[in-house]
A and B are shown apart, each in its own frame.
Chain A
Amino acid sequence: MIRRILMYIILILGAFMLQNNFFAAVHWIDITPNLLLIVTFEFGFLRGSMHGMIIGFFCGLLSDFFFGTNVGYYALIYTLIGYANGSVGTLFYNEFLNMPTLLCILSDLLLGLYVYITSFLIGGATNLWHYMLHVILPEIVYTMLICLLTYKPLRALDRWVEGLSKRSAKEFV
């Protein structure tokens, strides 16, 4: 369990910094893929809603601490996304790549709509189509691409850590 927690911490911090510090310095990336979302939903999908929502909570909290105006704003939606993917993941656990891709798209869409509705629509920006085309959709495309690339390595990492934990559990017994 400790190994797993350690892996989560490293992945969350890594994704956060890659996204907010590394990509931010690379000028020709206009729209950044949402790596925190990938970590949240992939482990939600692979390990169930408990893992998904705890990871989501911390991913969101980290974004809130450093960039948000209201602490808890992103934490709330990431928690929900983690939970939702966990619930779906336990229903449809399989080897196909299509399911995570679909979930990735839905999760990012949900996140985009959440931000749009709670902080833009209320502020009077009623032109959903524009935001859809210029913010939400590009982010979904990039996030989906990264998801396709990272799904298998992350799953392998997950199984490796699981294997390590089981082995050490046996030794302990």
Chain B
Amino acid sequence: MNNNESKFQPRHLLLILCIVCVVLIILSSISSSVNSAVRGVLNDVLTPMQSGFNKVGSFVSDEAEDLARLSAIEEDYKALTDELAYLREQNTRYQLQEIELSKYRDLLGMKEEYEQYPTIGAHVIGENSSNWNHTVLIDRGASDGIEVNMNVIAQGGLAGIVTSVTAGSSTVRLITDHDSQVGAMALITQDTCIVRGDLEVYQEGRLILEKINKDAKISDDYKIVTSNKSSIYLPGILIGYAKDIDIDSNSLTKSGYLVPVVDFSHLDTVLVITQLKENGQ
């Protein structure tokens, strides 16, 4: 059966390939440009194809979800029409309040939540399927002005950070990844903490909130935002809400959980903030 394997022993090739792999691992851990450089070659051909596959996937997924939901929707529809009438009436009242609020905002010189950062929209076209890592591929790259370490937001909260870039696509490491650590703080009390991704905790849709000073006044449902002190994350981006904060066994720090605002299982479009933290690297 295997007739063309006699000249060259498989174990020789195994040795060569393993050495190549180890050399690549070492090289790419020294310099991140190795990854981008090699990827650039494949990128032009594969990104459009990946994008296509992703669209088909979205279509199939949406269609199937639609079918499953159809009967439930009928019932919901009736309930919702009633609610709509009620909400419409309420909405007019809020609109009036909103105008009033913006007047006050102007007076105080406050800005809207993310308006100070320039952003660019991108589609998520791929997701790391290894079940271990939470990284996604987006369809914007260096040619759109994306650079490594740019912050990525979605649905009003921090989603992740760009870790490598090619001409037409970039890889984003989500904050739920086990390698991800974000310097954060409680919005009200300015107490610093670290938001860390953890696969085990993420099963319950949570992240780990740790290294909180024992005297810090962070308690449940406090808004957690990115810290001014973080070296790569821009300050003041909402990450999520604190939950179950408790004192650690060392009695020096507190830790607990964070419920992210981003729904990571429905991450279709994201915004990349095209401004880098200045002291960043």
Contacts and interface: CB of A to CB of B under 8 A. Distances in A.
B58 interface: yes
B10 A22 contact: no
A172 to B, nearest CB: 16
A86 B14 CA distance: 11
A127 B4 CA distance: 46
B197 to A, nearest CB: 11
A49 B265 CA distance: 38
A67 B4 CA distance: 34
B216 interface: no
A73 B29 CA distance: 10
A31 to B, nearest CB: 6
Given A28-B61, A53-B13, A76 B133 contact: no
Contacts of B120: none
Contacts of A47: 2
A104 interface: no
A83 B10 contact: yes
Contacts of B25: 70-73, 76
A129 B277 CA distance: 40
Nearest to A22: B57
B157 interface: no
Interface in B149-205: 163, 171, 178-179, 198-200, 203
B53 A67 contact: no
A59 B257 CA distance: 36
Of A22, A119, A138, chain B has the most CB atoms within 10 Å of the CB of A22
Contact of B14 (A68, A79, A138): A79
B126 A69 contact: no
Contact of A48 (B5, B124, B127): B5
A139 B55 CA distance: 24
B56 interface: yes
Given A72-B20, A130-B200, A25 B61 contact: yes
Contacts of A30: 265
Interface residues of A, number: 60
B21 A75 contact: yes
A20 interface: yes
A120 interface: yes
B127 to A, nearest CB: 3
A18 B11 CA distance: 31
Given A22-B54, A32-B129, A71 B10 contact: no
Nearest to B61: A26
B17 interface: yes
Contacts of B57: 21-26
Contacts of A116: 132
B18 A66 contact: no
Interface in A79-123: 79-80, 83, 86-87, 90, 93, 115-116, 119-120, 123
28 contacts: A13-B46, A17-B50, A19-B129, A20-B128, A21-B57, A25-B54, A25-B56, A25-B58, A31-B131, A32-B129, A57-B21, A65-B35, A65-B39, A66-B126, A67-B126, A68-B133, A70-B29, A71-B24, A71-B34, A71-B38, A73-B25, A79-B14, A80-B18, A83-B11, A93-B1, A119-B132, A134-B203, A135-B132
Given A25-B57, A47-B2, A72-B23, 15 more contacts: A13-B49, A19-B129, A21-B51, A23-B57, A26-B64, A32-B131, A48-B10, A53-B10, A53-B17, A65-B35, A69-B28, A70-B24, A71-B27, A71-B28, A115-B130
Interface of B: 1-2, 4-5, 8, 10-11, 13-14, 17-18, 20-25, 27-29, 34-35, 38-39, 42, 46, 49-51, 53-58, 60-61, 64-65, 124-133, 135-137, 163, 171, 178-179, 198-200, 203, 265-266
